[in-house]
Structure 1
Amino acid sequence: MELYLDVERPYPPILRGTPYPEILEARKEIEKHINELLDIDFIRNIGHTEIVEVTTPVLINWHDGKSRLCGDFRELKRYTKSDRYPIPRIPHTLDKLQKEK
């Protein structure tokens, strides 16, 4: 499955979030998560220099010792085109399917 976000132009050349302070161990863990996501093609390097960062990565540690990589994409929302084709209403879709029987 691929997801594309249409971004309105013009947008600032660099979208940067406020960096969170991180320790070296956390930075290594963040890089490990990013490399895993790159390896399974869940994310990809866009190779553009016009957008450096959209979000600052944040590492959330769970009680069992595992961690999760998160990000705050509210800044990106300002530059994303709105979806003009909303998801159809479920009752309407079910009515149409019922008539097809």
Structure 2
Amino acid sequence: MEDLLRRFCAYGIECKDHEGHTHDWVTLLPEVQLAYNRSQHSTTGKKPSLIEKGWNPLLPVDRLKKNLLTIHPKAKDFHEIWKRACGTASKCIAEAKEYNKQRWDKSHMEPDFKEGGQVLGSTLNLNNLKGPKKMRDSFLGTLIIIKLIVKNAVEV
């Protein structure tokens, strides 16, 4: 999220309507929020608005009648600015996702666990050990892998 906002603010857009009124990135933040909430996330495979509310928000364009003959100039300007802001926000979301994926992949490797292999058991999250924390052992010792649950989770 931080990277998305940084990209949108730094490389964002400035739009002017037909009257010369400027819309900078601050006034276009609702479009960023809408684009973010309507984008599918790799972790859940769903859109945040669908997870949070149970439905996807409708856009003004979803409610417009397709057979209108005339469109007010301000509405047309707003629609163009809105489309451009949403497009820029979507591009920033994609770039932020790719950047974060590359940064994560650079410093993390897939573990090579096999059934019957050995792993070192940590005492970091065990809170039932007695004595002062700095006097406790850091590891339980080597444990044998009984079953692979997923790539990075095992039963010992």
User: TM-score, normalized by length of structure 1?
Assistant: 0.27
Work out which of the two has the higher radius of gyration on C-alpha atoms and give 1 or 2. Answer: 2
Q: Of Structure 1 and Structure 2, which has the larger fraction of its residues in strand? A: 2
Which of structures 1 and 2 has the larger relative contact order (alpha carbons within 8 angstroms, sep 6+)?
1
Q: Of Structure 1 and Structure 2, which has the larger fraction of its residues in helix? A: 2
User: TM-score, normalized by length of structure 2?
Assistant: 0.19
